[in-house]
Structure formats: C-alpha cells, structure tokens
C-alpha cells in the first residue's frame, strides 16, 4: 500500500468519529501523492506524514459560566497546537454549538498549510468551544470569555500561541478575552489578534479575510483571461468574511446578489446593500429577515438555496461542507465559471471534484481565505515593534500576499504537471515549506 494510503487509513482508525478531520487529511494527502512518492524513502523513515497528522499538543478543558438568571452552564473548551515548524501556533477560536475535537483538528490541520502559504512565520493551531453565542447578553458573553481565557491563558503567549477570531468570535469576544489574559498573566502583549484599534489591533484586520478573498480571486481570474468587473456573484454567509467579500467585490465592479445565515438566505436582484447588511448583522445581531424587510428588491427564503441562483462566480463564506455535489451541479449548469472559498472547507470533496472536472476555476480556502490570518501576522509584527501601520500600508501588504499566494500555488501545480489544479498547488506549496522546516529541526 502507498505511504499516503497507509497514513490516511491510520488517521481514520486512530481518530474515530472525526469525519471533518478525515476529510481535511484526505484532501491534503491525496494531492501530495506525487511529492510524497518522489521522497518516499526519506519521508517514511522520518515518519514525516505521521508527524504531520498528529497535533504536537491538544488541550480540552471545562468552561463553567453563570448566566443572567444565576444558572451555571458548562461548556467544553479546546486548543489544538498542531504544528510549530515555521512559527508560533496561530489560528482562530470558533464558538459554535457544532464545535468538537474533530472540527478543531480539521481547522488546525488546514491552518498549518494556510499559514505556510502566507509566507509569514506562523505555525498552525485552532481552538474554540461548543458555547453558542446566539441570543446571549453581553454580560453572558463576557462571563463565558473570561472563564474560557482563565484556562486558555496557561497555554498561549505572544511567542508561543496566538489565537484570534473565527465563527462566533469577533471584536467583542477578543476584547473580553484580552482583558482577562492581561489580568491573569500581567502581560500586555500581542497574545491575540483581531484586537480593537485602541488596544493594539491592526487597521484592515476586520476587512482582511473578505478583501483577501477578492484579491486572490481577481488575480486567479486575470491569469485565466477573465475579470471580476461586471460579474454576478453569489455569496453565502453574512458574517465577517461574507460582509467584506461583498464590499470588495462591489468595489471591483461586480454585483453580489445573495447572502445567507443559519436560518435562511436572501436574493437581492439589485445587489446587496452592504451598509444595511452590516447594520442588521454587526450592529443589531439580527436575522436576514430584517434585511429583506428593509429592502424592497430583496426576497427572503427559509433554508438553504444561494447556489440555485445563476451567477458567474460563487464565494462560499459560511462554514464547512455547505456546498454539496447537487449545488456544484446546479452552479455548472447555470454557467458559473469560478468558485473561491472564503470559509474553511465549505465545499465537500465530491463537489470539489465535480467542479474541477467541469473546468471551473476552483480556489481552496486555505489559499483564498488566508488574508485574515496573514493580516493577523501583520498585527503581530506591529505589536512587536509597538507601532501601528496605516490602512493603506496593511491593505497594500495584504494585496501583495494574496497575489503571491496565487502565483506560488499556480507554480507548484505546474511543477507537478497539474496545471490549473489549485487545490493540489496550495497543498504542495504549503507542505513544501513546512516539510523543509520540520526536516531541518530534526525529529521533534
Ligand atoms: N480564523 C481565521 C482563519 O480561519 C483567522 C485566524 C487568525 O487570524 O489567526 O484563518
């Protein structure tokens, strides 16, 4: 049996009931086959793939907190420190009821390659909790965040592990967590990114994932003789990634006609009004029904359905496995020519394969959504030198990073005879740097 297949089998056997982790490992290892075969003897001897798929360390802890009525709740907190070959562990904290160890491991594993692709010195990690922020008061959110950080603060630090936001963790949560870290550890340091501007945050970090997605997509389209200008786009999600993806797409001359949340989706034939969307989602923390109620050109639909709208480009920006095979078929049938992932692993393996087989330009999240974590690394640099850069400076660096990521993975795919396969290109380019660093550092 090939080394890749052996390790995939081991991962499935040794990590039962973690389907998302299996999926992420399969996607990466399958596309590394050629690289692994070319180095099989050394990789096997060094158990390189086994070391890659086993986190360096993982924490699971109790998070008790008291709600506004005095009732105590207990959630589970996680931090997986996956790989520190190229820098301190870096990756977000997801707060969502679906969170379990397998989800955090899939995200942490993806993060290794994503962070490597940015070209910046950051290792891979991820954390979070099954806490559901929906419907909680500010005080309850603070109670949870403080309890979560009371435990997490033992394992993180500006030079060891630097968490950030993800689904359910935004500026408010990062603020509460930062305050608690400082209070317990007595350190005013860049231990978290995505901070507010008044206490060490970076300009353009809020916009970075969505903007970066569009900078990447723009470069991918240009290099394939196409353009964002004038395109019609479907976006899923209505969180931080989706909002700024929509904004940048519009600035680049596209029309974005959809958005979605956990209960339904909107089709706005005149193009999404980003200011209204921000008001509904960021300020009021309300449902998309409120957007539709305030906007005559918009229709609200319950359930899922954004991929049924005929568009040129699809940008899944909600969550994992939200774009299924049937959606992929529908997009292709409707003439869509590009899919770029804003979320982490939003496209199922079958859907990805179908899109690629049908000649759709497909950008994997670990490349196309890397702008968020890249800008987090820029926030770390600013914190270390105790300076803040201007919006233009950060945004300019972000643009360069995204353009470079595209060319690195495009080159990597070509080198291995898989031109246009950006999934393989991203995995290979991300892997090469990590392997080089792991090999140089010996068996650790
Ligand atoms: N959660 C984001 C991601 O998936 C950002 C992580 C970070 O900024 O550290 O990459």
CATH number of the domain to which 165 belongs: 3.40.50.10860
Please tell me whether 376 is known to bind a ligand. Answer: yes
Same domain, 354 and 243: yes
Q: Count the domains in the chain.
A: 2
Same domain, 77 and 138: yes
> Does residue 37 fall inside a structural domain?
no
> Does residue 253 fall inside a structural domain?
yes
User: Is 168:94 a contact under the CB 8 Å cutoff?
Assistant: yes
Task: Strand 264-268: give its sheet, edge to edge.
Answer: 258-260, 264-268, 298-302
- 357 catalytic residue (yes or no): no
Helix axes 205-222 and 371-385, enclosed angle (nearest 10)? 130
Q: Is the pTM of this model over 0.85?
A: yes
Atom number in ligand 1 closest to CA 370: 10
Q: Give nearest CA residue, ligand 1 atom 5.
A: 373
Same domain, 212 and 182: no
> Does residue 389 fall inside a structural domain?
no
Same domain, 174 and 248: no
Same domain, 298 and 160: no
> Is the CB of residue 146 below 6 angstroms from any atom belonging to ligand 1?
no
User: 95: domain range?
Assistant: 55-187
> Is the CB of residue 341 below 6 angstroms from any atom belonging to ligand 1?
no
Same domain, 217 and 361: yes
Please tell me whether 334 is known to bind a ligand. Answer: no
> Reduced to 3 states, what is the DSSP secondary structure of residue 79?
strand
> Does residue 12 fall inside a structural domain?
no
Instruction: List b or e across 383-414, with b for residues whose CB sees 16 or more CB atoms inside 10 angstroms.
Output: beeeeebeeeebbebbbebbbebbebbbebbe
Distance between CA atoms of 150 and 129, rounded to whole angstroms?
14
| CATH at residue 250 | 3.40.50.720
Distance between CA atoms of 213 and 23, rounded to whole angstroms?
23
Residues whose CB is less than 8 angstroms from the CB of residue 291 and which lie 6 or more positions away in sequence, other chains included: 259, 266, 273, 276, 277, 280, 298, 300
Atom number in ligand 1 closest to CA 91: 9
Q: Give nearest CA residue, ligand 1 atom 10.
A: 373
> Is the CB of residue 376 below 6 angstroms from any atom belonging to ligand 1?
yes
> Does residue 429 fall inside a structural domain?
no
Same domain, 69 and 160: yes
CA of 33 to the centre of ligand 1 (A): 27
Same domain, 86 and 122: yes
Distance between CA atoms of 386 and 378, rounded to whole angstroms?
12
Q: Could you write out the DSSP letters of every residue in 235-295?
A: EE--SHHHHHHHHHHHHTT-EE-EEE-SSEEEEETT---HHHHHIIIIIS---HHHHHHH-
Same domain, 74 and 160: yes
Both tokens of 91, joined, read 């990756």
Q: Looking up tokens 């977000």, which residue turns up?
A: 92
Q: Which of 346, 368, 390 is the last residue of a domain?
A: 368
Q: Which of 137, 152, 187 is the last residue of a domain?
A: 187
Same domain, 213 and 134: no
Same domain, 214 and 358: yes
DSSP one-letter code for 347: B
CA of 138 to the centre of ligand 1 (A): 23
Which of these is catalytic: 105, 126, 136, 366? 126
Please tell me whether 114 is known to bind a ligand. Answer: yes
> Is the CB of residue 435 below 6 angstroms from any atom belonging to ligand 1?
no
CA of 55 to the centre of ligand 1 (A): 18
Q: What is the pLDDT along the chain (444 residues), one digit of tens a residue?
A: 999 999 999 999 999 999 999 999 999 999 999 999 999 999 999 999 999 999 999 999 999 999 999 999 999 999 999 999 999 999 999 999 999 999 999 999 999 999 999 999 999 999 999 999 999 999 999 999 999 999 999 999 999 999 999 999 999 999 999 999 999 999 999 999 999 999 999 999 999 999 999 999 999 999 999 999 999 999 999 999 999 999 999 999 999 999 999 999 999 999 999 999 999 999 999 999 999 999 999 999 999 999 999 999 999 999 999 999 999 999 999 999 999 999 999 999 999 999 999 999 999 999 999 999 999 999 999 999 999 999 999 999 999 999 999 999 999 999 999 999 999 999 999 999 999 999 999 999
> Is the CB of residue 90 below 6 angstroms from any atom belonging to ligand 1?
yes
Q: Give nearest CA residue, ligand 1 atom 9.
A: 91
> Does residue 45 fall inside a structural domain?
no
Ligand 1: which of 79, 111, 342 to mutate, most ligand atoms within 8 Å of CB? 111
> Does residue 300 fall inside a structural domain?
yes
Please tell me whether 209 is known to bind a ligand. Answer: yes
Same domain, 275 and 182: no
> Is the CB of residue 166 below 6 angstroms from any atom belonging to ligand 1?
yes
Exposed, middle or buried, 287 (CB in 10 Å: 0-12/13-18/19+)? middle
Residues whose CB is less than 8 angstroms from the CB of residue 16 and which lie 6 or more positions away in sequence, other chains included: none
> Does residue 279 fall inside a structural domain?
yes
Q: Looking up tokens 């009821």, which residue turns up?
A: 97
Exposed, middle or buried, 308 (CB in 10 Å: 0-12/13-18/19+)? middle
The neighbour count for residue 147, using CB atoms within 10 Å, is 23
Distance between CA atoms of 101 and 373, rounded to whole angstroms?
21
> Is the CB of residue 193 below 6 angstroms from any atom belonging to ligand 1?
yes
Q: Which of 348, 368, 388 is the last residue of a domain?
A: 368
> Reduced to 3 states, what is the DSSP secondary structure of residue 402?
helix
């Amino acid at each position: 049996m090939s080394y890749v297949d052996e390790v995939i089998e081991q991962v499935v056997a040794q990590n039962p009931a973690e389907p998302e982790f299996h999926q992420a490992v399969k996607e990466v290892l399958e596309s590394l086959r050629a690289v692994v075969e070319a180095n099989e003897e050394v990789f096997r001897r060094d158990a390189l793939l086994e070391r890659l798929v086993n986190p360096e360390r993982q924490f699971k802890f109790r998070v008790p907190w008291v709600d506004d009525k005095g009732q105590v709740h207990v959630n589970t907190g996680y931090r997986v420190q996956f790989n520190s070959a190229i820098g301190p562990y870096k990756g977000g904290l997801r707060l969502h009821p679906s969170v379990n160890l397998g989800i955090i491991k899939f995200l942490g594993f993806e993060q290794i390659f994503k962070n490597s692709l940015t070209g910046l010195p950051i290792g891979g990690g991820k954390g979070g909790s099954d806490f559901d922020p929906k419907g909680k008061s500010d005080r309850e959110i603070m109670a949870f965040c403080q309890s979560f950080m009371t435990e997490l603060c033992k394992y993180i630090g500006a030079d060891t592990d630097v968490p950030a936001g993800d689904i359910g963790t935004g500026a408010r949560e990062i603020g509460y967590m930062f305050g608690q870290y400082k209070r317990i550890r007595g350190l005013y340091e860049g231990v978290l990114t995505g901070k507010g501007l008044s206490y060490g945050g970076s300009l353009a970090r809020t916009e970075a994932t969505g903007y970066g997605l569009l900078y990447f997509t723009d470069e991918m389209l240009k290099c394939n003789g196409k353009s964002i200008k004038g395109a019609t786009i479907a976006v899923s999600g209505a969180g931080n990634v989706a909002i700024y993806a929509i904004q940048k797409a519009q600035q680049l001359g596209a029309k974005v006609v959809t958005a979605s949340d956990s209960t339904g989706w909107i089709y706005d034939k005149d193009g999404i009004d980003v200011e209204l969307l921000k008001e509904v989602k960021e300020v009021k923390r309300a449902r998309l029904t409120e957007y539709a109620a305030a906007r005559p050109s918009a229709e609200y639909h319950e359930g899922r359905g954004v991929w049924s709208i005929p568009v040129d480009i699809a940008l899944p920006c909600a969550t994992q496995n939200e774009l299924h095979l049937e959606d992929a078929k529908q997009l292709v049938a409707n003439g869509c020519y590009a899919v770029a992932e804003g979320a982490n692993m939003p496209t199922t393996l079958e859907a990805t394969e179908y899109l690629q087989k049908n000649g759709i330009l497909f950008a994997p999240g670990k490349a196309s959504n890397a702008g968020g974590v890249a800008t987090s690394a820029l926030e770390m640099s600013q914190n270390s030198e105790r300076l803040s850069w201007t919006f233009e400076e950060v945004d300019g660096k972000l643009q360069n990073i995204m353009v470079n990521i595209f060319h690195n993975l495009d080159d990597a795919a070509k080198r291995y005879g898989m031109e246009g396969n950006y999934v393989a290109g991203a995995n290979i380019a991300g892997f090469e740097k990590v392997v080089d660093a792991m090999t140089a550092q010996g068996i650790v």
